[in-house]
């Protein structure tokens, strides 16, 4: 039988969404949150995936966690602003061509060189395939 949950003291009311206040969070901060807190990677692996040092990753993650916490605790809206890592990289399986597209433009329809639709994301933003050393 599961143990009965002990009562906890909570000193805040449930937050109401505050549409007038927005927190600006950058794409690299969101990526840090995703890798560390959603995917559960350790900081060293996550830093490697993003192509930055572990101390830099730590700093980005700390900022990101604070912003995410404030959004939840105070009900702030979140506005995503571009970071420095705003390009997506693609690679064509048929001709080997690699190219970049900015975020927010949707998935490209075809390889700009050969027209093939047989291509995939190449950049480190896709953490799953990139686990481990490279």
Closest to 30 (Cα-Cα) out of 77, 82, 95:
82
User: Between the CA of residue 50 and those of 23, 100, 101, what are the distances in Å?
Assistant: 23, 16, 17
Task: Say how far apart CA 64 and CA 88 lie, in whole Å.
Answer: 21
What is the footprint of Zn ion within residues 23-62 (CB under 5 A)?
Answer: none
For Zn ion, the closer CB: 97 or 103: 97
Residues 6+ apart with CB under 8 A from 69: none
Rounded to the nearest whole angstrom, what is the least distance from the CB of residue 10 to Zn ion in the complex? 56
Task: Say how far apart CA 84 and CA 107 lie, in whole Å.
Answer: 20
For Zn ion, the closer CB: 42 or 117: 117
Gyration radius (Cα) of the chain, Å: 19
Which structure tokens are listed for 125?
A: 């933003």
Q: Which of 23, 68, 78, 97 binds Zn ion (CB under 5 A)?
A: 97
Rounded to the nearest whole angstrom, what is the least distance from the CB of residue 104 to Zn ion in the complex? 23
| Residue 114 binds to Zn ion (criterion: CB under 5 A) | yes
What is the footprint of Zn ion within residues 65-94 (CB under 5 A)?
Answer: 92, 94
For Zn ion, the closer CB: 70 or 95: 95
Q: Which of 113, 121, 122, 123 binds Zn ion (CB under 5 A)?
A: 113
**Which positions lie near Zn ion, rule CB under 5 A?**
92, 94-95, 97, 111, 113-114, 116
């Amino acid at each position: 039988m599961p143990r009965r949950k002990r009562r906890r003291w909570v000193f805040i009311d449930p937050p109401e969404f505050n549409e007038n206040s927005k927190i600006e969070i950058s794409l690299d901060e969101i990526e840090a949150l995703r890798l560390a807190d959603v995917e559960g990677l350790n900081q060293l692996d996550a830093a490697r995936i993003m192509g930055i040092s572990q101390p830099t990753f730590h700093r980005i993650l700390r900022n990101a966690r604070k912003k995410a916490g404030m959004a939840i605790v105070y009900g702030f809206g979140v506005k995503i602003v571009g970071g420095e890592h705003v390009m997506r990289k693609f690679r064509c399986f048929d001709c080997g061509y690699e190219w970049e597209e900015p975020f927010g433009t949707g998935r490209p329809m075809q390889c700009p060189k050969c027209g093939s639709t047989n291509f995939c994301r190449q950049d480190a933003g896709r953490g799953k395939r990139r686990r481990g050393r490279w």
